[in-house]
Structure 1
Amino acid sequence: MKKFLLLLHEDIEKMNELSPKEMGELANAHMAWATKLAESGHLISGEGLHEKGVLITGKECVIKDGPYLESKELIGGYYLLQANDLDTIVQFAKECPCHLWGGTTEIRAIMEMDQYEQ
Structure 2
Amino acid sequence: MPKIKRRSVSQRNVEMAKRMRERRTDDEFRLLDNRRRANSLKVERQSKEFKTEENKRRIEALRTERQNEEFRAEDNERRADAHKIERQNEEFRAQENERRAEALRIERQNEEFRAEDNGRRADAHKIERQNEE
Please give the range of the TM-score, normalised by the shorter of the 2 chains.
under 0.3
Calculate the TM-score normalised by the size of structure 2: 0.18
Q: TM-score, normalised by structure 1?
A: 0.20
Larger RCO of the pair (alpha carbons < 8 Å, separation 6+): 1
Greater strand share, structure number: 1
Q: Which has the higher helix share?
A: 2
